[in-house]
Structures are given as C-alpha cells and as structure tokens.
C-alpha cells in the first residue's frame, strides 16, 4: 500500500506534538488534504483531516481547557484500520521526504 500512496505536498509545522501537514493521493485517486502528522513519545502518527466545530453563534467551539474542538471529515471502522492507515501515511511521507521527521522525538 505504501508504494502506491503519493505524497503531493509536505508543510512542516512544529507545534507541540504536531510536525506538519501533508497532502496524499491514494491508489483509488482520492486526494486527502490536511493530513496532520504528529509525534508522541517518539512515535510518529497521522491524523485524518478534520474541521473546527462551529457553534450557533458562528464562533469556533472550545473545550474546557480553551482548545478548539474538531469534527472528523473521514473516519475508520475500527482502531486497527486507522492504525494501518496512519502507518501507511507515515511510511509514504518518510519515503518521499526522508528528513521530514528528523529531530521529531
């Protein structure tokens, strides 16, 4: 699966666990934008695109800690499927941009 995923764009952005955003084309031809790449405890993982939750007042909603709340745009049937997808995205990213996660630990 990894060899068939094409990383179209990589935008590094180091903020807390986040390392950047990628755009990838899947073997089906589907293009996923704004895949977020994180590193937690030295392990990279990818999160599918999401969008901010907007309240009735038109303002982005925040949780009790003041962080923005997000809704998934795509999801997976189960955790193992999500983890396989994440691993495939990270493998494709590191194949296309070998230094993308340097110093990510």
Q: How many CB atoms lie within 10 A of CB 26?
A: 16
Percentage of the chain exceeding pLDDT 70: 94
pTM of the model: 0.84
pLDDT of residue 1: 45
pLDDT tens track for 59-78: 999 999 988 899 999 999 99
Question: Is the torsion defined by CA of 14, 71, 73, 45 positive or negative?
Answer: positive
Interatomic CA distance for residues 90 and 96, integer angstroms: 10
């Amino acid at each position: 699966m990894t060899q068939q995923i094409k990383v179209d764009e990589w935008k590094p952005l180091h903020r807390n666990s986040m390392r950047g955003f990628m755009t990838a084309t899947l073997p089906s031809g589907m293009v996923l934008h704004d895949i977020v790449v994180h590193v937690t405890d030295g392990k990279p993982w990818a999160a599918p695109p999401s969008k901010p939750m907007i309240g009735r007042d038109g303002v982005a909603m925040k949780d009790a800690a003041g962080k923005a709340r997000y809704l998934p745009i795509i999801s997976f049937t189960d955790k193992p499927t999500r983890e396989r997808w994440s691993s495939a995205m990270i493998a494709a990213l590191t194949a296309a941009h070998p230094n993308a996660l340097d110093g990510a630990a």
